[in-house]
Structure 1
């Protein structure tokens, strides 16, 4: 860094990120194209990916995502940050191998429970089990414990999840359907082998297209990986560099959108765990310092909403109402815009149901 790079303000970073996240204006792209562009959606629970796309796409319906899941054009599996993501089938076969080093490190945390366990043999047995028929984690723990009765059952299951590219089979993840988590391998579910791992360089470019401008630490936070500096350095000649207001070096694609910081940003209702709030080491581009940590309490995570592009409160459907809890005072126009966006969210996601919209308390 030379110290002469242009400085991007927090608002400039906010607007650039919102634009790439399809949150500055709704996109006409398909659900599957959006999942690919966003390099997957956080999917710890069933509903969040649907709400994530409802906030981002024009004309979206839940069936537009359930369809690809049912057709096996999209899958749910552990990838970034060791969390469940919903990916296109093609991405699942290349991104999962990319993050394998992180999964190997994860196994190390469970070594005490894996004394005497040959991980290659465990992977082979686990693969045979889940490819014979999809298995729940409980079934996998019990079967592996029969092979290694002295090992910790939970550690055995974690090792299987970390060594194999396990996907959640449908109907799990489909809108309006209910099913426990059952697992098989991506190769078996998709009837094709895993491709070679996506290159670090190509993944950096995709990350910047969806989350940039960003620092090396930002990208590592999103991926749950380390040692990505070398990829950024290889790409430096074809990237632009900036600094944030704290002097941190940021990288970006030359032709990526960087809107005027004063570009209007309409309210948006997001699901819990939305990647917008989880994919940067420095989250101030979306989360004001005063609101840091306010979307969760104990083990409960609440759905955030944005006003003027920044985290402004939380929301939740409670009984017969969508309840909105702002973190600060909303002006009359802002309150009206937030209410209108809440009504749109309900119309898209629950067109056959009737809910009130009210401002109140979401977090006890």
Structure 2
């Protein structure tokens, strides 16, 4: 088996994440290629698409959501993802075990709070309320509380959100609008039930096409699922050895890896971008010392800036009005003057995208 250096692994995954150069593709094609985009921060996918595509217009994604070609719902790792509707229908049943763990092992909403409860009856009651129209968590709680007065209504609503294939409906996730999350189900919102025979083999192939080469543990970290080794074993996959750790990495047999010396432009990733969340071993993006100096929450709740394919700074839009936009950038590694100039230049491009009518300011800050 061939060995892959850390840089070779970095370049391979960046290329299939469409971060080595911007692509001429539609938003829907990109969302499907990435097997969804992390979206608990509702507008994060817009930045994620901008950093990967030429001439991306936010109205394109907004239209996909409003026309029900794309949806936001609980998927990988029991977190909100933006998916194409067909991928949500195809893969949502595979994620059900992770969502069941989210309900029944949850210290706040699960465990004894649901013990002895007729869960099917709770879910039927949730569907009954959502049949009237998309329901917020408060509206679900208000509907469920009188039916089970001896139970915590928040726990009941949480079970409905996770155990049913719920979708957050617009205007949540619409550029320039927004609103409180309101839920419907796949059947009600899309008029089609989720797949009855979902394919874990297809899910793993799609993961490798967007995030590989990767280990079984990486795929499990991305999906939140367990026991994927048996899926890897039955697929026809190419194998590599991680030169740093000695781990076995898997990939699709027809993908050619790029030159490990491929130059990588500065890229701004939004908060929670799946690139940074989809591997058990994240050293391909961020070195161990840097990662240990930051909490995961610090990294995830702000955007990340890649320079030469590595996380070098965190960023946040701290002010964004029609007249003024301020982007703060906090380096997390030592930056040369030339590196900072490259980052600053792309930061102004990002501001031109997020705040086209405002004056722009880029601020370099320290922790």
- Interval of TM-score (by shorter of Structure 1 and Structure 2): over 0.9
In structure 2, relative to structure 1, the CA distance for the partners of 1:101 and 1:300 (3 Å cut) is: closer
Please tell me whether residue 8 in structure 1 is matched to residue 4 in structure 2.
yes
Unaligned segments of structure 2, at least 5 residues? 320-324
Residue 29 of structure 2 aligns to a residue whose secondary structure is helix
Q: Does 1:128 align with 2:124?
A: no
Structure 1 match to 2:262: 263
Alpha-carbon RMSD:
1.6
Residues 302 and 295 of structure 1: is their aligned pair in 2 closer, same or farther, counting only changes over 3 Å?
A: farther
- Which residue of structure 2 lines up, in the alignment, with residue 318 of structure 1? 318
CA distance in 2, matches of 1:295, 1:119: 36
Q: Which residue of 1 aligns with 2:190?
A: 190
CA contact (8 A) 1:41 1:86 kept: yes
Kindly state the Cα deviation for residue 106 of structure 1 after the two structures are TM-superposed.
Answer: 2.3
Match of residue 275 from structure 2: 276
Q: What is the TM-score of this pair, normalised by structure 2?
A: 0.93
Instruction: Report the Cα offset of residue 299 of structure 1.
Output: 10
- TM-score between both structures, scaled by the size of structure 1: 0.94
Alignment partner of 1:146: what SS?
coil
Q: Could you say which residue in structure 2 is the equivalent of 1:60?
A: 56
Residues of 2 paired with 1:62 and 1:97: CA distance?
Answer: 30
Unpaired stretches in structure 1, ≥5 consecutive residues:
none
Equivalent position SS for 1:7: strand
Deviation at 1:76, TM superposition (A): 0.4
Partner of 1:20: 16
Provide the residue aligned with 1:147 in structure 2: 147
Aligned-partner Cα distance in 2 for 1:299–1:16: 23
The answer to whether the Cα contact below 8 Å between 1:307 and 1:334 also exists between their aligned partners in 2 is yes
Kindly indicate whether the alpha-carbon contact (under 8 Å) linking 1:295 and 1:301 is maintained by their aligned counterparts in 2: no
- Indicate how the Cα distance of structure 1 residues 24 and 295 shifts in structure 2: closer, same or farther if over 3 A, else same: farther
CA distance in 2: counterparts of 1:61 and 1:22, whole angstroms: 17
SS in 2 for 1:130: helix
Cross-structure match for 1:242: 240
Which residue of 354, 357, 360 maps to 1:349? 354
Moved more, 56-65 or 330-339: 330-339
Contact kept in structure 1, 2:91 and 2:195, CA below 8 Å: no
Contact 1:117 1:148 in 2 (8 A): no
Distance of aligned partners of 1:295 and 1:318 in 2 relative to their CA distance in 1, 3 Å threshold: farther
Which deviates the most, 43-52 or 322-331? 322-331
The size of the alignment, in residue pairs, is 356
Q: Find the counterpart in structure 1 of residue 93 from structure 2.
A: 97
| CA displacement 1:121-154 (0-9 Å, x = unmatched) | 1111111111211111111122112111112222
Q: Distance in 1 between matches of 2:338 and 2:176?
A: 35
Say if 1:141 and 1:73 are closer, same or farther in 2 by CA, change over 3 A.
Answer: same
Query: What residue is the counterpart of 2:322 in the other structure?
Result: none
Question: Aligned to 1:18, what secondary structure does the other structure show?
Answer: helix
Deviations 1:156-205 (CA, angstroms, capped at 9, x unpaired): 11211122111111111000002111111111111222223531111100
Alpha-carbon distance in 1 for matches of 2:336, 2:300: 28
Instruction: Kindly report which structure 2 residues correspond to 1:28-107, keeping only aligned pairs within 5 A, or say none.
Output: 28-107=24-103
Deviation of 1:267 (Å): 0.8
Tell me which moved more, 37-46 or 109-118: 109-118
Distance 2:295 2:19 in 1: 19
